[in-house]
A = this chain, B = another copy of it.
Amino acid sequence: MRIGDLHTEAGGVINDVTIAYRRWGEFRGDPDGMNNLVLIEHALTGDTNVADWWCDLLGPGRALDTDAWCIVCTNVIGGCQGSTGPASEHPDGGRWGSRFPAISIRDQVTAEKQFLDALGVSRIHAVLGGSMGGARTLEWAMMYPDKVNAVCVIAVSARASAWQIGIQSAQISAIERDPAWQGGDFYDTGASPDAGLAAARRIAHLTYRGEQELDERFGAARQDGENPLGTFRDPAQRFAVESYLQYHGRKLVERFDAGSYVTLTEALNRHNIGRGRGGLNKALAACTVPTMIVGVDTDILYPYHQQEHLSRNVGELMGIARISSPVGHDAFLAEFRQMDRILRRFFVLSVLDEDAQEDDGYLI
């Protein structure tokens, strides 16, 4: 879907933006009033295929009930799975590369709003997502409180913490130090910063996964056929967990663009709902959208106290749910049974809400 030009919060322009999306279920209701549209927000390296990454949650009769709801997932602007990003063709020729402006989470939401406008829909029932998708969900409630009935904000914070900025900057730096990066303009050089991107992912993965789960799976075991305890250090002789992390690095390199990784990680660094709104708590208190908050007890990237902070300060709290899991941050993508109960409860509450009761003829 072409949505026109996007003007970024920091004064940049991205011309003639395309936003890719997928849809499940039939749209019912009023495009400018009560309807059954639900917007799902994917995480950093996610994509529009909710049926893949939330496979047990989406479908007829499931928590994301495609019989009841019209479910839409857009690929984030700056991404590389169909929407305009640094790897896209620039209108003046070549790829965007370093010409692609820095974007914020708010810019991502602005692009989604323009996408809905282009669809001819000005109001939606609910927005929900985790991690960077949770950040977009929260900004939806801040930026367009009159356009959405309820939001479910999962595994995120009100702004990037110093630790998050630190570890995210380390990932960006791993890519920028790769000689193939070429300041972001590597697309026509015949090389790409694969080693840098894999290194970034290796670091990131350790913030997504809980140490107890990793230790249960790998401990200090050797990779099959290798000996990491030899007389001399040899990078080719690995512990099992090293092999696992390298595998995830390689997998990301196959499916993801380094330019998008830098752009979206930078957007996470800029995540701050308090900016220009009188600070975090004033911004949260001013938000009237009924909000469900979800966190994971073992998340080191977005520790649970950050969700507790949201729950204490958000203007209209539906509830806070704590996923109990050794998996860490990624539990919202892995603990399907707990997520199922949480999302079902969210949808029940979203239609019980008095704002949503005005018109319930088509709702579950």
Chain A residues engaging chain B, CB cutoff 8 angstroms? 8, 10-12, 98, 101-102, 104, 159-167, 169-170, 172-174, 176-179, 184, 195, 199, 202-203, 205-206, 209, 211-212, 214-215, 217-220, 228-233, 235, 238-242, 245, 262-263, 266, 269-270, 272, 300, 303, 305
Among B165, B217, B240, contact of A242 (Cβ-Cβ < 8 Å): B165
Least Cβ–Cβ distance between A331 and chain B, in angstroms? 16
Given the known A-B contacts A11-B231, A170-B203, A220-B162, are A211 and B245 also in contact in the complex, defined by CB atoms under 8 Å?
Answer: no
Nearest B residue to A13 by beta-carbon distance? Answer: B231
Tell whether, in the assembled complex, residue A220 and residue B102 are in contact, meaning their CB atoms are under 8 Å apart.
no
Cα distance A170–B263 when bound, in Å? 22
Q: Smallest CB–CB gap between A295 and chain B, Å?
A: 14
- On whether A242 and B206 interact (CB within 8 A), knowing A161-B219, A219-B161, A231-B11, the answer reads no
Name the residue among A8, A101, A165, A177 with the largest chain B CB count within 10 angstroms. A165
State the oligomeric state as a number of copies.
2
> Is there contact, CB below 8 Å, between A166 and B245?
yes
When distances are taken between beta carbons in the complex, the residues of chain B under 8 Å from A104 are 229
- Hey, which chain B residues are within 8 Å of A242, CB to CB? 165-166, 169
Give 8 new A-B contacts, CB below 8 A, not counting A161-B211, A162-B218, A174-B174: A8-B231, A10-B230, A102-B231, A102-B232, A161-B219, A165-B241, A166-B245, A174-B199
Q: How far is the CB of A79 from chain B (nearest CB, A)?
A: 16
A206 touches B170 (CB 8 A): yes
- CB-based contact B202/A102 at 8 Å: no
Q: Measured between alpha carbons, how far is A305 from B10 in the docked complex, in Å?
A: 45
Which residue in chain B gives the minimum CB-CB distance to A161? B215
Residues on the B chain within 8 Å of A263, using CB: 233
The reply to whether B232 and A161 form a contact with Cβ atoms under 8 Å apart is no
B162 contacts A211, C-beta separation under 8 Å:
yes
Q: Which residues of B contact A166 (CB under 8 A)?
A: 202, 205-206, 214, 241-242, 245
Task: Write out the residue numbers on chain B whose beta carbons fall within 8 Å of the beta carbon of A228.
Answer: 269-270
